[in-house]
């Protein structure tokens, strides 16, 4: 079994909650910590939400680090459900977990340097705006040598956007950060809307989360409260859980199909945040990313449910082992 040392860079967020809980339930994933950024909601709320999620998992060995309060350059924008702010205690209870005093950017840099020195690179799962990661790479480019890959949820190529007609939210929220990360030389794996829209979770799937104890019930509450379906766009009931695809890819890459491409971001003008992928070499530039184009819907859904249900096992999540 391959065991990945992972930093999860997130802006929780409902999708982020599923991804984080999935990772913390998976013995294939050694979560070194969470680096939190403003995105779906302001930083104070993303940090509180992250602490609640870690508290639900019982993994008090996993630190939560607060990071960037806003994007590198552009005016700040928040997610579709920004009005929810921090998760209500009725949906997700407080778990007694507090944030670390170490800033998220410093945590990323320190972890990557230690990994490079040990010859054991880390993976960064980027499931929010990539401000923290960009700041680490811009300020100290040598940290790239300690990062094996950045597995990111972001972008849209053929599916167009969901935050705007042309942009996916994580990229739109900080396009300059995304562009810096794409140009960093670190191998990038991209989970775009084109792929995440292929795997739709229905109310019946959410009901299965409830077998996952308190953590599963919290996810059921979140996904039942904030409707993600869009029959007009998807053509059938259900909605995606975008961010969890990054964790699933690390655990079961066989569930996914991808293509190499040079990927860039529009950072100015009306279409700021638009991502483009040169799959056919028209720009005469070497590939800088693997774009995931297809997912085994049934396999991914079953994997996520199975990992969340683990929280319902007697004693699961009460120790630092997490597997």
Helix (H) or strand (E) holding 29: strand 29-36
The three-state secondary structure class of 211 is helix
**Kind of pairing between the strands at 188-191 and 147-153:** parallel
CA separation, residue 128 to residues 10, 37, 79, 120, 174 (Å)? 5, 7, 10, 25, 9
CA separation, residue 247 to residues 99, 284, 306 (Å)? 23, 32, 13
**Cα 182 from Cα 289, distance rounded (Å):** 8
- Told to judge if 4 belongs to the known catalytic residues of this protein, a careful annotator would answer no
Structure-block tokens of residue 153: 């949820």
The number of CA neighbours under 13 Å toward the Cβ of 289 is 30
Active-site residue identified among 65, 162, 242, 274:
242
**Kind of pairing between the strands at 289-295 and 256-265:** antiparallel
Helix (H) or strand (E) holding 191: strand 188-191
Residues 275, 155: contact at Cβ < 8 Å?
A: yes
Q: Please state at what angle helix 43-57 crosses helix 213-225, rounded to 10 degrees.
A: 140
Structure-block tokens of residue 101: 């005093």
Residues 154, 124: contact at Cβ < 8 Å?
A: no
Catalytic amino acids? 242
């Amino acid at each position: 079994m391959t065991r990945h040392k992972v930093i999860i860079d997130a802006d929780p967020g409902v999708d982020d909650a599923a991804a984080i809980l999935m990772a913390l339930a998976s013995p294939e994933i050694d979560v070194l910590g969470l680096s939190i950024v403003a995105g779906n909601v302001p930083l104070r709320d993303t940090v509180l939400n992250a602490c609640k999620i870690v508290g639900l998992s019982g993994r008090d060995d996993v630190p939560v680090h607060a990071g960037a309060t806003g994007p590198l350059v552009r005016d700040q924008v928040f997610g579709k459900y920004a009005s929810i702010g921090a998760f209500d205690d009725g949906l997700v209870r407080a778990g007694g977990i507090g944030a670390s005093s170490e800033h998220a950017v410093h945590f990323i840099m320190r972890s990557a340097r230690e990994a490079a020195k040990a010859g054991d690179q880390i993976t960064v799962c980027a499931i929010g705006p990539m401000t923290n990661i960009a700041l680490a790479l811009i300020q100290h480019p040598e940290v790239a040598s300690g990062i094996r890959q950045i597995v990111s949820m972001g972008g849209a190529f053929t599916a167009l956007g969901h935050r705007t007609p042309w942009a996916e939210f994580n990229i739109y929220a900080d396009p300059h950060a995304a562009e810096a990360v794409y140009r960093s030389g670190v191998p990038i794996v991209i989970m775009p809307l084109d792929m995440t829209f292929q795997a739709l979770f229905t109310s019946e799937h959410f009901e299965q989360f409830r077998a996952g104890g308190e953590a599963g019930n919290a996810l059921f509450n979140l996904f039942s409260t904030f409707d993600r379906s869009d029959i007009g766009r998807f053509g059938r009931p259900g909605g995606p859980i975008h961010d969890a695809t990054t964790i699933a890819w690390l655990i079961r890459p066989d569930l996914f199909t991808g293509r190499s491409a040079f990927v860039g971001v529009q950072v100015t003008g009306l279409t700021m945040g638009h991502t483009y992928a040169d799959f056919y070499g028209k720009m005469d530039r070497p590939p800088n990313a693997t774009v995931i184009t297809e997912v085994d819907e049934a396999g991914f859904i079953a994997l996520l449910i199975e990992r969340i249900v683990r929280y319902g096992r007697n004693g699961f999540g009460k120790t630092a082992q997490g597997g």
